[in-house]
């Protein structure tokens, strides 16, 4: 009898502890605000992962702060809706949202973000850009699907949609106002229309390389003069097709960064598959130290490995 009582007591304590742990975790989730500096320009990582779930990373997304305002968001992969709140950012303050391409790990939170923006105190339309393409490969087709999803609410009432033809040999000015300039160039990511963006604010330039194989004709020239270059390290040197049609291997990432002349490189879109997966070794986080070494073999500048919510001042 004493034994049964002891077991029941331990069970009760354990359930109580679990409830407390869950409540604490929830509190942390809702209250964590990773605020960046209130002055100057800062890049904040919203999502440092790719399409495979795991490793605690949201899919791809970046936020550019200027003097404490989150002015520009690039990409909106799964998880960035929550990360944006954890960053202490409000949709109503974002002036420009650029989508590199319409794969789910870069665009799946777009419906949620546009839906939430209906409730923001926005004073001017949200500028949303993305590549031109067939059907949902293009921004217009994708936004039409989002709007159909939102019926009977018109989700487009405060959006200025900017569809950009992803030309690979000439730079396009996507958006410009008193605070910022956004330019773009097309890059190779299999057959998916894809844009790399350059964000210029307060004379600081950040290039977001997007998913690509780093062999499109105009990209290196596009990166020249950047203060910060964000490249995606999704795969390892052992990777094979179809992944090599979508992403560059570490040695090539290092070569491109070196050719760009950029002093600081952020590596993001880091990927880890379940270790039992037959192709797990083809992804960057399988052995990140070896992959980083390969990037460093070809690149002499500073390398930062992206982590969700990290702030990188310029």
Q: Which residues bind Zn ion (CB under 5 A)?
A: 50, 105, 211
Nearest approach, Cβ of 241 to Zn ion (angstroms)?
16
Q: Which is nearer to Zn ion, 42 or 216 (CB)?
A: 216
Q: Which is nearer to Zn ion, 190 or 292 (CB)?
A: 190
Nearest approach, Cβ of 246 to Zn ion (angstroms)?
8
Q: Which is nearer to Zn ion, 70 or 209 (CB)?
A: 209
Quick one: which of 311, 310, 285, 288 has its CA closest to 54? 285
Q: Which is nearer to Zn ion, 73 or 95 (CB)?
A: 73
Nearest approach, Cβ of 121 to Zn ion (angstroms)?
32
- Cβ distance 68 to 40 under 8 Å? no
Rounded CA-CA distance 129/198 in Å is 13
DSSP secondary structure letters along the chain: -HHHHHHHHHHHHHHHHHHHHHHHHHHHHHH------SSSEEEEEEE-B-SS--TT--BSEEEEEETTEEEEEE---TTHHHHHHHTT--GGG--EEE-S--SHHHHTTHHHHHHHHTTS--SSPEEEEEE--SGGGSHHHHHHHHHHHHTTS-TTTTEEEEEE---SSS-EEEEE-SSEEEEEEE--BTBS--EEEEEEETTEEEEE--S--S--TTHHHHHTT-SEEEEE--B-TT--TTGGGTS--HHHHHHHHHHHT-SEEEEE-B----TTSTTGGGBGGGGHHHHHHHHHHH--SEEEE--TT-EEE-
- For residue 129 the two structure tokens come to 């850009």
Quick one: which of 234, 272, 238 has its CA closest to 253? 234
Nearest approach, Cβ of 235 to Zn ion (angstroms)?
11
Q: Which is nearer to Zn ion, 163 or 211 (CB)?
A: 211
200 has which bridge partners? 181, 205
Nearest approach, Cβ of 55 to Zn ion (angstroms)?
15
Nearest approach, Cβ of 187 to Zn ion (angstroms)?
12
Nearest approach, Cβ of 257 to Zn ion (angstroms)?
19
Q: Which is nearer to Zn ion, 176 or 277 (CB)?
A: 277
Nearest approach, Cβ of 100 to Zn ion (angstroms)?
8
Q: Which is nearer to Zn ion, 117 or 211 (CB)?
A: 211
Q: Which is nearer to Zn ion, 109 or 211 (CB)?
A: 211
Nearest approach, Cβ of 243 to Zn ion (angstroms)?
11
Q: Which is nearer to Zn ion, 211 or 308 (CB)?
A: 211
Rounded CA-CA distance 48/28 in Å is 20
């Amino acid at each position: 009898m004493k034994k049964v009582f002891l077991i029941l007591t331990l069970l009760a304590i354990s359930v109580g502890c679990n409830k407390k742990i869950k409540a604490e975790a929830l509190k942390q989730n809702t209250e964590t605000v990773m605020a960046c500096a209130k002055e100057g320009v800062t890049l904040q990582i919203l999502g440092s992962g790719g399409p495979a779930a795991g490793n605690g990373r949201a899919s791809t997304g970046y936020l550019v702060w200027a003097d404490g305002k989150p002015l520009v968001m690039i990409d909106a992969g799964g998880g960035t809706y929550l990360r944006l709140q954890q960053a202490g950012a409000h949709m109503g303050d974002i002036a420009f949202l650029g989508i590199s391409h319409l794969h789910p790990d870069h665009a799946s939170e777009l419906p949620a973000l546009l839906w939430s923006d209906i409730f923001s105190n926005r004073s001017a339309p949200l500028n949303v850009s993305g590549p031109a393409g067939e059907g949902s490969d293009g921004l217009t087709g994708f936004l039409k699907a989002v709007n159909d999803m939102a019926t009977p609410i018109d989700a487009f009432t405060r959006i200025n949609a900017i569809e950009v033809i992803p030309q690979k040999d000439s730079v396009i000015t996507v958006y410009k106002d008193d605070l910022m300039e956004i330019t773009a160039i097309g890059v190779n990511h299999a057959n998916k229309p894809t844009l790399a963006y350059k964000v210029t604010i307060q004379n600081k330039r950040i290039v977001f390389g997007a998913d690509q194989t780093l062999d499109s004709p105009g990209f290196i020239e596009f990166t020249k003069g950047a203060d910060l270059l964000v490249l995606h390290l999704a795969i390892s040197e052992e990777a094979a097709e179809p992944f090599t049609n979508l992403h560059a291997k570490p040695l090539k990432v290092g070569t491109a960064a070196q050719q760009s002349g950029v002093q600081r490189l952020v590596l993001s879109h880091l990927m880890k598959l379940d270790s039992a997966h037959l192709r797990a070794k083809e992804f960057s986080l399988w052995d990140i130290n070896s992959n980083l070494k390969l990037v460093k073999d070809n690149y002499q500048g500073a390398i930062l490995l992206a982590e969700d919510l990290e702030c990188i001042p310029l």
